Amino acid sequence: MFRQISIYPGETGAGTVAAAADDSIFFYSLTDGNASSTIPTNQGAHEGVDLIEFTHQPHMLLYTPGARSAGAQRFDFTVRLLNAETSQVVRAFPGHEQRVMSLSQNPRNDVFLTSSADRTVRLWDARKPTPIAVVKTQAPAVAQFDPTGMVFCQASDSGIRMAAQSNPDQPFATFTMPDTQVQFNTMAFSGSGFNILLGATNGDLYFFNNLKTISQLGRFSGHQIATGGAVVHQPCFSVDESTVCVGDAAGVTFYQASRPDAQSTRLNTPASTPVATCAWHPDRALFITGGHQLLFWAPV
């Protein structure tokens, strides 16, 4: 199953899509939609791939391993920097002791962040194997840089914090959920950076605005999540931020961002199979979904 998508737009707007699926990373050209290369990740002491994120170069990709190999004595949670041209790992970033839940590249520089079930958020310089900052959290956390790269959002244990990269331990804005039982497992910023989507383990999406202060704008709960807990549905905003998109048990559900209580619309996948991840190309009218298949959708 394709679990995550990362898009490198490219200077001409064509670009490349990287998709993580089971034990390989697949690269697709957006010129014709064909697979350009496949890199297996089931070599050495780790097996599989979970999260992926392009850096500032189309052939350099960060990823986290997905599982433990049969011969390994412990799980491997080391983040890796991969050169897709040589299929070689350039650098490893050890430190996390449990599953990495978020992986986010700063759009301005070589810093990236990770968050983990080990209750830490770590900031890294891609040129160094040790973290430049470690922020402890009260519970497993998700985190992501905003589109400016100057600040990041961290959500854990029903609490949300905004902090600057330069001062990660001192949040300048916070929000506490009224429902203290909410556990977040996904996060997505809108293109402007003013809106945030947080997915929770209960299947609901929580919609926030972070203009000056963090405030909750709504909650989306009409979609049906895949059973068994094996699929984490990663949401996204449309490019114009008018629509909230999230994969579900049989396709994709679309909500009006300005009206969380309005009737949703649906996009069913072939054979009505689950969708784990979805993304809009930032420069083209192209919607991509990942589940049992990687599908490219164009409006008609």
With vertex at residue 216, the alpha carbon angle to CA 148 and CA 52, rounded to the nearest 5 degrees, is 45
Percentage above 90 pLDDT, the chain: 72
Over residues 153-162, the pLDDT tens digits come to 999 988 999 9
- Say if residue 221's pLDDT is above 50: yes
Distance CA(99)–CA(159), nearest Å, equals: 20
pLDDT value for 181: 84
- Say if residue 184's pLDDT is above 90: yes
- Say if residue 71's pLDDT is above 50: no
Over residues 228-256, the pLDDT tens digits come to 767 899 999 999 999 999 999 999 999 99
Domains, the chain, ordered by start: 1-94 (2.40.10)
pTM above 0.85, yes or no: yes
CA distances from 214 to 154, 175, 176, 194, 217 (A): 12, 6, 9, 10, 10
pLDDT value for 288: 95
Task: Report, as an integer, the average pLDDT of 280-285.
Answer: 89
Q: In what order do the strands lie in the sheet with 52-54?
A: 52-54, 60-63, 79-83, 88-93
Percentage above 70 pLDDT, the chain: 94
What are 223's two structure tokens? 């979609």
